[in-house]
Amino acid sequence: MKMIKLEPGLKYDGSQIKPMWAFQNFGVKGSSIVNWIGPMDIKSDELVDYEDMGLEIKSDEMIHFIVEHFDVQPADMRLCYHRQRILVMIVQDLLDEIGIKTHRKGDDLYCDDGKLTVSVASCSVSSMKIHFAMNLTTTGTPKNVKTTGLLECSGELDMDMISKLPDKVSKTYIDEIEDIEEDIAKTRVF
């Protein structure tokens, strides 16, 4: 599985959840996790989650992750959601290590009562996709949702720490997936 870090500034608009995005835009073949810091503004025609129809989903600055897996054919929605939860739990553990206490509800993390993250999982014929993102601040988030940002959850967090977090999350996720594959390969079956 490959890890790609993009320069800051790319706006997540929902099109990145489409299959083969990393390959079409960056020449990345195979399973990957792409991370970057940038805004988000999803138009209604790019929404994947039916529960989100009609909602504003936006933020001025977030840490984004796009995960794509090609290892199961045909793609498996249940497995994709399991992997999404693994990613969320990895983020929760790493945030805890730097002093940010969160609680999880499904695939979302909350700091106190503020929603810190957004996430969606989806499948195409050829791949499983996950988008996961964390607000850096509440600037530009919808007024009708109580949100929070990483910088508001911890007064000790600085941009240097924030810039290292996406790579640590990505590497930990890759290690977890590879560890599972190694466990499968060493397990006796009947």
pTM of the model: 0.92
SS3 sequence of 91-104: HHHHHHHCCCCCEE
Distances (CA, A) of 40 to 15, 131, 182, 185: 11, 11, 36, 39
- Residue 18's CB is within 10 A of a number of other CB atoms, namely 15
pLDDT at residue 50 in the model: 44
Q: Return the CATH number of 2-182, one of 3.10.20.90, 3.40.50.1370, 3.30.930.10, 1.10.10.1100.
A: 3.30.930.10
Instruction: List the chain domain ranges.
Output: 2-182
Q: Which of 3-17, 43-57, 89-103, 126-140 has the lowest mean pLDDT?
A: 43-57
Q: What percent of the chain has pLDDT over 70?
A: 93
pLDDT at residue 44 in the model: 60
